Amino acid sequence: MNSTHRAAAGGAAAVLLAVTLGGCGDSQQSWIGKKYHKIGYNTFQSSQPPRTVASAINRKFKAIDRVDDLATYGNNGGVFLRYPKLVVGVTPYGSGSHITIDKPSGGYNRYYSHVGHRWSAPGSGGWNKHGIASFRGGGPGSGK
């Protein structure tokens, strides 16, 4: 096999590997972007009600925690999914839903009135898989 054939075979193997591994790295954000209609920056829309949408997202990507306050707040409530590096909010919009994707601190602040009683504030790196702030700060005498 000459160098031209080896280069072609190596290139084909690299393409095949990239295609094979491409489906393994599907993040919540890219999956939501493919499944729902984008209406703004990290904001999507669905014709389905919030609980249906949140359940579909949670089936695909198991959340650390879920807050559903639709029974309490009705159209002013929503379903909020906490992930280590994201907060997904699914709120009523007409007969469908708005879906927002935020970094931990942004989502926590945006939905504080819904999740503040249940979730701790995220650390600078979000939350760990148990929902605890992944970095709490530090310094002398900080109780590390």
pLDDT of residue 128: 84
Supply 12's token pair. 């084909």
pLDDT of residue 26: 53
Q: Which residue did the predictor score with more confidence, 64 or 10?
A: 64
pLDDT of residue 70: 97
Could you report the per-residue pLDDT of 11-66, keeping only the tens digit for each?
444 433 333 333 333 589 999 999 999 999 999 999 999 999 999 999 999 999 99
Closest CA to 45 of 91, 113, 110, 102: 91
124 near 114, Cβ under 8 Å?
no
Could you report the per-residue pLDDT of 97-143, keeping only the tens digit for each?
999 999 999 999 999 999 999 999 998 888 988 777 865 555 555 54
Supply 10's token pair. 């190596």
Tokens 């198991």 sit on residue: 62
Closest CA to 121 of 102, 135, 141: 135
Q: For residue 78, what pLDDT band results from cuts at 50, 70 and 90?
A: very high
pLDDT of residue 55: 98
The amino acid at 3:
S
